[in-house]
Amino acid sequence: MGALDIGIVGPALPAIKAAFGINERLVSWIFTIYILFFMIGTPLMAKLSDTYGRKTIYILDVFYSQLDQPLQSLQHPLKPC
C-alpha cells in the first residue's frame, strides 16, 4: 500500500506544477515533504496499532477521514496563479 501511495504523488506533480504555476524547486519540495510525512506516519501508526489494536486504529482512521471530508469542502478553493 505504501508503494502505491508514493506512486500516486509522482505522476501528479506535473499537473500540480501546471495548475499552480510553480517552479521545479517547489515541486521537488512537495514530493520531499510528502515522503517525509509518510515516513514519520508509518512507524507512528504501527506503534499505535500495536498498542491499541489494528482494528481500533483502522476504524479511527476511517472515522477521522470521513469527518475531515465535509470540512475540506467548506474551505476556500485554491486558485491557480
Q: What digits encode the pLDDT tens for the residues 47-80?
A: 999 999 999 999 998 898 888 888 878 877 766 6
In a domain? residue 37:
yes
Tell me what pLDDT residue 80 has: 62
User: How confident is the model over 2-39, as pLDDT tens digits?
Assistant: 666 778 888 888 998 998 888 999 998 988 998 898 88
Q: How many domains are there within the chain?
A: 1
Confidence (pTM): 0.64
The residue segments making up the domain with residue 19 are 2-74
Tell me what pLDDT residue 44 has: 92
In a domain? residue 81:
no
Sign of CA dihedral 53, 45, 51, 56: negative
In a domain? residue 80:
no
Sign of CA dihedral 45, 13, 79, 81: positive
